[in-house]
Chain A
Amino acid sequence: MLAHLPILQVIVPLMAAPTCLILRKPKLVWLFTLLASSLAFIISILLLQQVMQTGTISYELGGWSPPWGIEYRIDQLNAFIALIISGVSTVVLLAAQTSIEKEIPQEKQTLFYILYLLSLTGMLGILTTGDAFNVFVFLEISSLSAYSLIALGKDRRALWASFQYLIMGTIGATFILIGIGLMYQMTGTLNMADLATRLPEVAESRTITTAYVFFIVGVCLKLALFPLHFWLPNAYTYAPSIVTAFFAATSTKVAAYLLIRFTFSIFGISFSFTTLPMETLFLILGLLGIFIASTVAIYQDNIKHVFAYSSVAQVGYMIVGFSLSTHAGLTAMLLHMFNHALMKGALFLALAAIVYRVGSTRIADFQGLGRQMPLTMAAIVVGGLSLIGVPLTVGFVSKWYLVVAVIEKGWWWLAGLVLLGSLLAVIYVWRIVETAYFKAPIAGRHPVKEAPMAFLVPVWLLVSANVYFGIDTRLSVEVATAAAKSVFGVVQ
């Protein structure tokens, strides 16, 4: 049983999805989905433990040995991110039933859970697989279900956002397909470990440069790296609230994983950062993302829009860490991926609770909520502080590691810019606090009640994780360091 964990990680949610059709009743399907997601979470914990103790696990699919068969390969890096994804998915699901009762018609609720599980399958598949083409297939599984999930939103703008995402996402996926095709053409293999050994021999050719560029542009579209982020804000804003909470915490992380995996482990650092000027390019795009997206976030009227743009900015921080191409930089990036999942999960789930009670997330509707929904608003405040990077929250930890990594390189000006970016976060978080706590409740509106327990429990689970991992950083830092080490270990 333990030997088959890598495949079970993907198979459990995949098989659970069609099973939902038999169960039918939304409540029952919800419990079943929760069970499947928890199982995936438990599997990912076991896998991480196993990897931390014994090192990389290679699993041969159907007993065919790689590179002929498909190999699932788990190391510290993907075990860590699989843990983030399945963990957030499970916590978010706790609130799902209550939230979608109001947002999705009864007859579509079962289908919602099926799509949710398929999306989870796709993401976990991308993480566990050791085969480049398999990545494309799983990417499309997760994307296609993502488009449909977003289109389930109540507002008609959800349809338009979903369509735009479909066009952009498919272009991105096709670019990735071209990249993989060119790699295969030059090396004759699709196995990642095999690719890593064969690519350096042909790295001088223009074909390989083209392959890398196509692949990376495709991944950056999925990552919503500035300036390829246009699909993200509307998709996050008009999707059902639960979907937003799930995607904001997970989908960009998976794309970031692909970026790390292909740039560092497969193409190798000497190719990506020495032959090509990717270092500078990523640094500039990351910084632009931080400043432009944060500034746009300040002027938004819909809080979901605010946090969606803030997500684009947070991707910028990850990319800045990535562009340093040092062990410390990668550790900072991985930590920020973990921490960002915790904060955005908490924030968007709290927004889901507000949608449940108030029916809107426009900033004007937040007036007086500080007193009427004290626990939910407190969660948003803690999440916001974490987003800014206040000490004792996870946001501080990742900013700290990022600044230390930057200073290690001797780039003081960059450290200054990173901190300046946090100040922009102060502004957009303060606007919410000001409206919610210092303005009188809207006259004539029915007094709003505190969110039901179904929301408060998962929201506060994530919020306390924000604080816990902000104080006791042993677990997250240890795993992130090990993951960064495993990536650089392959290179040398």
Chain B
Amino acid sequence: MTMILGLYNYWIVIVLMMIGFYIIISHGHLIKKIIGLNIFQTSVFIFYISVGKVEGATAPIWQEGILLYSNPLPHVLILTAIVVGIATTALGLALIVRIKEAYGSVDEDEIQSMDNQDVISQEKEHQQC
């Protein structure tokens, strides 16, 4: 029981991580993939943030009479990682817009089959000349 309750933050992280990972792998819709990626990354953010918590300590803001502070470093690190995550999401979504323009679809399987078709038609074209 203490394994579950005492370490509950880790369990949340693992569950979120697996949900995100599963979405990335199983869904063919590109935007859903990006959402899965976001959940996956968020789980790691939560991991970092919860690691910085020191039991019985307050927020890391200096105040008279308080001796125990939570560790602010992981929070600072994760601010950077969040920015990186946003940049990745933005780039991913921008790519999806371009893919939609070029292929007319945002479904993995359809895009893949169109790519395969391209290869076949190129070969045919080549045989003719």
Contacts and interface: CB of A to CB of B under 8 A. Distances in A.
A167 B36 CA distance: 10
Interface string B39-66: 0110010011001000000000000000
Given A144-B88, A178-B44, A162 B95 contact: yes
Given A160-B115, A167-B33, A144 B99 contact: no
A181 B48 contact: yes
Interface of B: 21, 24, 30, 33, 37, 40-41, 44, 47-48, 51, 74, 77, 80-81, 84, 87-88, 91-92, 95-96, 98-99, 102-103, 111-112, 115, 118, 122-123, 126, 129
Nearest to B123: A301
A151 B98 contact: yes
A181 B51 contact: yes
Interface in A159-208: 159-160, 162-163, 166-167, 170-171, 173-174, 177-178, 181, 184-185
B48 A144 contact: no
Nearest to A137: B80
A129 to B, nearest CB: 14
A30 interface: no
A157 interface: yes
A147 B93 CA distance: 12
B47 A181 contact: yes
Contacts of B33: 167
B27 to A, nearest CB: 11
Q: Among A140, A157, A163, which residue has the most Cβ atoms of chain B within 10 A? A: A163
Contacts of B96: 163
A147 B25 CA distance: 20
Contacts of A151: 95, 98
Contacts of B126: 362, 364
Contact of A163 (B44, B51, B95): B95
Contacts of B99: 156, 159-160, 163
Nearest to B41: A174
A362 B74 CA distance: 50
Q: Among A133, A159, A442, which residue has the most Cβ atoms of chain B within 10 A? A: A159
Given A163-B92, A174-B44, 20 more contacts: A136-B84, A140-B87, A144-B84, A151-B95, A159-B98, A160-B111, A163-B30, A163-B99, A166-B88, A166-B92, A166-B95, A170-B37, A171-B21, A171-B24, A178-B44, A178-B47, A181-B51, A181-B74, A184-B51, A444-B129
A170 B103 CA distance: 23
Nearest to B37: A170
